[in-house]
Copies of this chain bind each other. A is one copy, B any other.
Amino acid sequence: MVLENPLTARPRVLAVPVVPPTSRVRGVDVGALRMDAEGFWGRRQAVNAAATLTHCREWMERLGWLTNFDRVARGEALDERTGWVFSDSEVYKLLEAMAWELGRQPDDALEVAFSTLVDRVARAQDADGYLGTAFGHTGQAPRYSDLSMGHELYNMGHLLQAAVARARAGHPDDELVQVARRAADHICREFGEGARDGVCGHAEIEVALAEAGRAFGERRYLEQARIFLARRGRGTLPVPPLQSAEYFQDDVPVREATVLRGHAVRALYLSAGGVDVAVDTEDSALLSALERQWENTVARRTYLTGGMGSRHQDEGFGDDWELPADRAYCETCAGVASIMFAWRLFLHSGDVRYPDLIERTLFNVVATSPSADGRAFFYANPLHQREAGAPAADGVNTRAEGGVRAPWFEVSCCPTNVARTLSSLAAYTVALDDDGLLLLQYAAGEVRAGGWRVRVQTRYPDGDRVLIGVDEAPADAARLRLRVPAWAEGATVAIGDAPARPAAPGWFDVTDVSAGSVVTLTLPRQPRLVFPDPRIDGVRGTVAVERGPLVLCLESVDLPAEVSLEDVRLLPGAPEAAGDGALAAAVIVDPPGSAGPLPYGARADAETATRSTSVPLVPYHRWAERGPSRMRVFVPLARRAGQDD
Interface residue ranges, A against B (CB under 8 Å): 84, 239, 241-244, 295, 298-300, 302, 304, 311-313, 318-327, 353, 356-357, 360, 384, 386-387, 398-399, 410-411, 486, 489, 528-544, 566, 572, 590, 592-593, 595-605, 607, 634, 636-637, 639-640, 643, 645
Contacts and interface: CB of A to CB of B under 8 A. Distances in A.
Contacts of A539: 537
Contacts of A356: 597
Q: Which of A327, A360, A539 has the most CB of B within 10 A?
A: A327
A535 B600 contact: no
Contacts of A544: 600
A398 B327 contact: no
Contact of A599 (B239, B535, B645): B535
A414 to B, nearest CB: 15
Interface secondary structure of A, over-half rule: loop
Nearest to A353: B597
Nearest to A595: B299
Nearest to A546: B600
Contacts of A538: 324, 537-538
Contact of A326 (B319, B360, B384): B319
A286 B538 CA distance: 37
Contacts of A324: 324, 327, 537-538
Contacts of A299: 595, 597-599
Contacts of A593: 533-535
Contact of A312 (B311, B529, B532, B643): B311
Contact of A531 (B318, B357, B602): B602
Given A242-B398, A593-B533, A599 B386 contact: no
Given A324-B324, A531-B605, 7 more contacts: A242-B410, A319-B326, A322-B326, A530-B600, A531-B604, A533-B593, A536-B599
Contact of A298 (B84, B311, B597): B597
6 contacts: A318-B327, A324-B537, A486-B596, A489-B602, A534-B604, A534-B636
B326 A327 contact: no
Contacts of A645: 543, 572, 637, 639-640
A346 to B, nearest CB: 13
A398 B241 CA distance: 7
Nearest to A539: B537
Contacts of A322: 326-327, 386
Contacts of A590: 534
A322 B566 CA distance: 12
A433 to B, nearest CB: 22
Contacts of A300: 599
Contacts of A640: 643, 645
A534 B607 contact: yes
Contacts of A529: 602
Contact of A643 (B387, B543, B599, B643): B643
B605 A537 contact: no
Nearest to A357: B597
A262 to B, nearest CB: 13
Contacts of A244: 398-399
B601 A530 contact: yes
Contacts of A398: 239, 241-244
